[in-house]
């Protein structure tokens, strides 16, 4: 299932030329992942409160294809592509209309809040991820 997050590009997202600064793609992708998890019934805050664990980014591969510019409306399409005992993989595509702007391959690890160590994803959460 694809989860879609739509946003506008603001001045704070861009460099001096009005193009999205490369690192800001990661911040936008984080918001899109957070909303996708919320839509799946698996919000971060609830995961922390109920199980004392959280997802952390442990790997990201980002391929820039076309620039996003100030005041444009873009969407991020998030697809969860894999589920392991302690990890989730996903693909996030930045789109402007039919144009692909960037593609991220992201690996999330499940970690304990108390010490940051890797741990298995709680069973109740696995069912919510619907991968």
CA distance 48 to 64: 33
* Residue 105 dihedral angles phi and psi, to the nearest 5°: -110, 120
CA distance 26 to 129: 21
Indicate which residues carry an active-site annotation. Answer: 15
How crowded is residue 25: how many other Cβ atoms within 10 Å of its Cβ? 21
């Amino acid at each position: 299932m694809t989860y879609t997050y739509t946003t506008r590009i603001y001045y704070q997202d861009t460099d001096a030329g009005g193009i999205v600064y490369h690192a800001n793609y990661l911040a936008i992708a984080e918001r899109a992942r957070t909303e996708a998890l919320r839509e799946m019934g698996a919000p971060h805050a609830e995961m922390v409160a109920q199980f004392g664990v959280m997802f952390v980014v442990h790997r990201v591969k980002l391929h820039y294809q076309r620039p996003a510019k100030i005041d444009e409306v873009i969407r991020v399409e998030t697809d969860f592509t894999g589920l392991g005992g302690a990890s989730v993989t996903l693909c996030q595509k930045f789109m402007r209309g039919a144009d692909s702007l960037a593609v991220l391959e992201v690996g999330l690890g499940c970690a304990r809040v108390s010490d940051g160590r890797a741990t298995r994803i709680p069973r109740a959460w696995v069912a919510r991820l619907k991968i």
